[in-house]
Amino acid sequence: MTKIYGPGAEDLDRAARILAEGGIIAVPTETVYGLAAHALDEAACGRIFEIKGRPLIDPLIIHIHDLIGAKSLAAWNDWAELLAHAFWPGPLTFVLPKQSIVPALVTAGLETVAIRMPRHPVMRKLLIKCNLPLAAPSANPFGYLSPTRPEHVLEALGENLEFILDGGPCEIGLESTVLDLCDPLGPAILRPGAISGWQISEVLGIEILVKTQSMPEIPAPVSKGMPSPGLMHRHYSPRTPLAIRPHLHEFCRDEALTNEKIAFIAFQKPTERPDFTDSAAKIRFFWLTEDGDVEEAARNLYDLLHKVDRMNFNQIFIELAPESGLGAVINERLLRASGSAND
């Protein structure tokens, strides 16, 4: 029985009905697929944590259709006003003081709430149709790779989910930038994403702090003092062990080549394939982009890791992207996926 529907008018009607009745569905956004529930329905949001296996200390992002919706959930300020006009709808999440109608479960007991206006056309239609704020973390089991296609959601969470709304492959492929707008010292990036600190700084005319340090594997008792509680040390990981190898040529000299069943993911399609005739390893090559286009690499990252993760290799080695713009965001995710992000 199929669980992937739509996005025709009848499918959107059904999706909206399930949400209004307190159900959970998977939804497309321009960044990654989300696992959505009516954000003001505490029981429904509780099911999101259960389905994901997510600790209750890790708060959810609420998706809204318009500024009126945003202001009903969060105490607005001038930075939010300027940034919403510049980047919404789009891949930028604001952390602001919460209004009292937002259930404590959604914000994990914090006095702040994360909100975002997504720009995926199917998600926008759904938000209009259901006329509800939607809490939606990425639609993956906690700690696993984020989904960028409906099939990724089906494979990882299909057993516990009746309805996945199909919006095709995600346009960006990396989770939104999370920006703290509560700190009187100035706005601070808690999670890097497609909207860069430089772009934010241009709009606000001030310097943007970065507070993306990683968190311990088992988080401390309660979230106070965690800049962004979801940023655990290991996150976004495939099941196959993943390690970073800086360059293809260094990799070719690596003693790990005696190991069997290795996948190597290069950033860009290699111009010449290395010669492995002396090696016992059965190596398969993949790449994130044909010609070095960093946006294409970002779009492909989770999809390729999902594919390679299904192929039963003993080890995946992956090259970092060039460390600028979206490349730096890809690298931040890879360091977490391999468990080697700095504390």
Residues that bind ligand TXA (CB under 6 A): 29, 31-32, 34, 58-61, 91, 93, 95, 107, 110, 112-114, 116, 136-138, 175-176, 178, 190-191, 228-231
> Residue 23's binding partner, choosing from Mg ion, ligand TXA, none, with beta-carbon cut-off 5 to 8 A by kind?
none
Tell me the closest approach of the beta carbon of residue 204 to ligand TXA, in angstroms: 19
Whose Cβ is closer to ligand TXA: residue 88's or residue 251's? 88
> Residue 29's binding partner, choosing from ligand TXA, Mg ion, none, with beta-carbon cut-off 5 to 8 A by kind?
ligand TXA
DSSP letters for 211-224: ----B-SS--SS-T
* Crossing angle between the packed helical segments 326-337 and 294-309, to the nearest 10 degrees: 20
Whose Cβ is closer to Mg ion: residue 233's or residue 245's? 233
Structure tokens at 224: 């106070």
- Residue closest to 107 by CA, chosen among 231, 25, 230: 230
Tell me the closest approach of the beta carbon of residue 276 to ligand TXA, in angstroms: 38
Per CB under 5 A, the list member of 138, 214, 223, 268 interacting with Mg ion is 138
Burial profile 5-22: b = 16 or more Cβ within 10 angstroms, e = fewer: bbbeeebbebbbebbeee
Cα→Cα distances 184→20, 84, 110, 180, 313, Å: 37, 19, 17, 10, 48
Q: In 10 A of CB 328, how many CB atoms?
A: 15
Sheet holding 262-268, edge to edge: 242-244, 315-318, 262-268, 283-289
Cα Rg of the chain, angstroms: 20
Tell me the closest approach of the beta carbon of residue 133 to Mg ion, in angstroms: 18
Tell me the closest approach of the beta carbon of residue 313 to ligand TXA, in angstroms: 26
Whose Cβ is closer to ligand TXA: residue 28's or residue 245's? 28
Tell me the closest approach of the beta carbon of residue 139 to Mg ion, in angstroms: 9
Whose Cβ is closer to ligand TXA: residue 9's or residue 141's? 141
Parallel, antiparallel, or unpaired: how do β-strands 242-244 and 92-97 relate? unpaired
First to last CA, the chain: 45
> Residue 319's binding partner, choosing from Mg ion, ligand TXA, none, with beta-carbon cut-off 5 to 8 A by kind?
none
# residues near Mg ion by CB under 5 A: 1
Whose Cβ is closer to Mg ion: residue 76's or residue 142's? 142
Parallel, antiparallel, or unpaired: how do β-strands 61-63 and 112-116 relate? parallel
Q: Which residues pair with 210 in a beta bridge?
A: 189
Tell me the closest approach of the beta carbon of residue 72 to Mg ion, in angstroms: 25
Burial profile 192-216: b = 16 or more Cβ within 10 angstroms, e = fewer: bbbbbbeebeeebeeebbeebebbe
> Residue 70's binding partner, choosing from ligand TXA, Mg ion, none, with beta-carbon cut-off 5 to 8 A by kind?
none
> Residue 28's binding partner, choosing from ligand TXA, Mg ion, none, with beta-carbon cut-off 5 to 8 A by kind?
none
> Residue 132's binding partner, choosing from ligand TXA, Mg ion, none, with beta-carbon cut-off 5 to 8 A by kind?
none
DSSP letters for 140-165: SSTTBPPPSSHHHHHHHHGGG-S-EE
User: Is residue 31 within the footprint of Mg ion (CB under 5 A)?
Assistant: no
252 CB-contact burial (10 Å; exposed 0-12 / middle 13-18 / buried 19+): middle
Whose Cβ is closer to ligand TXA: residue 266's or residue 341's? 341
Whose Cβ is closer to ligand TXA: residue 153's or residue 316's? 153
Q: Which stretch binds Mg ion (CB under 5 A): 67-75, 138-146, 159-167, 299-307?
A: 138-146
Instruction: Give contact residues for Mg ion (rule: CB under 5 A).
Output: 138
